[in-house]
């Protein structure tokens, strides 16, 4: 599975302006609700519950909030580049690059494969820098597409 297979082009936000982790999660839930047809509150509550288990801020300005949802019928991904925000990341650095991953309850190994693929993409310092400097959402999508390598 490639990231582009689960990331709709219109699920990329460039330069969101949020002031807190909660606002960022609300932005992600709102975007996901628009694209999946699921209830925004359901998504937000699931994301908040997942964050209570431990932060999805993986360091180096990157977060991968993710959760399983019964009501979802296929994997959904979104990307947001935001003003730096405290995300309680493992390295205590603010987050500005965020991939959201929502998976159906029965997704099994696909959930972990998708998380690994997203993490691998953003661990590439060149890709992360390019995403931070991309001029718009189309450029971000193209960067993701061009760097979405097969395993």
pLDDT for res 113: 87
Q: According to the model, what pLDDT value does residue 1 have?
A: 79
Strands 95-104 and 66-69, sheet pairing: parallel
Read off the DSSP letter of residue 90: T
- Which residue among the candidates 60, 66, 111, 133 is catalytic per the annotation? 66
What is residue 151's predicted lDDT score, i.e. its pLDDT? Answer: 54
At residue 62, the pLDDT reads 95
Nearest residue to 79 (alpha-carbon basis) of 44, 43, 31: 31
* Residue-level pLDDT, tens digit, the chain, 151 residues: 789 999 999 999 999 999 999 999 999 999 999 999 999 999 999 999 999 999 999 999 999 999 999 999 999 999 999 999 999 999 999 999 999 999 998 877 888 888 889 988 988 999 999 999 999 999 999 999 999 876 5
| pLDDT at 78 (0 to 100) | 97
> What would the DSSP string read from start to end of 27-89?
HHHHHHHHHH---HHHHHHHHHHHHHHS--EEETTEE--EEEETT--S-EEEEEEEEEE----
Query: How does pLDDT run across 59-82, given as a tens digit for each residue?
Result: 999 999 999 999 999 999 999 999
* Amino acid 16: pLDDT: 92
60 is catalytic: no
Distance CA 101, CA 51 (A): 13
Q: How far apart are CA 129 and CA 125, in angstroms?
A: 6
Of 41, 134, 37, residue with least CA distance to 80: 134
What's the confidence (pLDDT) of residue 56?
A: 95
Token pair for 33:
């609700």
The answer for residues whose C-beta is within 8 angstroms of residue 41's C-beta and 6 or more apart is 29
> What pLDDT does residue 107 have?
77
**Closest Cα to residue 113, out of 145, 70, 66, 49?**
66
Write down all domains in the chain, each with its CATH number in brackets.
3-147 (3.40.930.10)
């Amino acid at each position: 599975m490639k990231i582009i297979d689960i990331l709709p082009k219109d699920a990329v936000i460039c330069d969101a302006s949020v002031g807190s982790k909660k606002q960022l999660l609300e932005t992600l839930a709102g975007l996901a609700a628009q694209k999946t047809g699921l209830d925004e509150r359901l998504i937000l509550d699931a994301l908040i519950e997942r964050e209570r288990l431990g932060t999805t801020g993986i360091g180096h300005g990157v977060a991968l909030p993710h959760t399983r949802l019964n009501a979802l019928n296929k994997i959904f991904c979104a990307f947001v580049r935001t003003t730096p925000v405290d995300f309680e990341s493992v390295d205590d650095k603010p987050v500005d690059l965020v991939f959201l991953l929502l998976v159906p309850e029965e997704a099994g190994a696909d959930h972990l494969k998708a998380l690994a693929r997203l993490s691998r993409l953003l661990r590439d310092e060149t890709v992360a820098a390019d995403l931070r400097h991309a001029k718009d959402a189309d450029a971000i999508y193209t960067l993701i597409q061009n760097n979405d390598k097969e395993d």
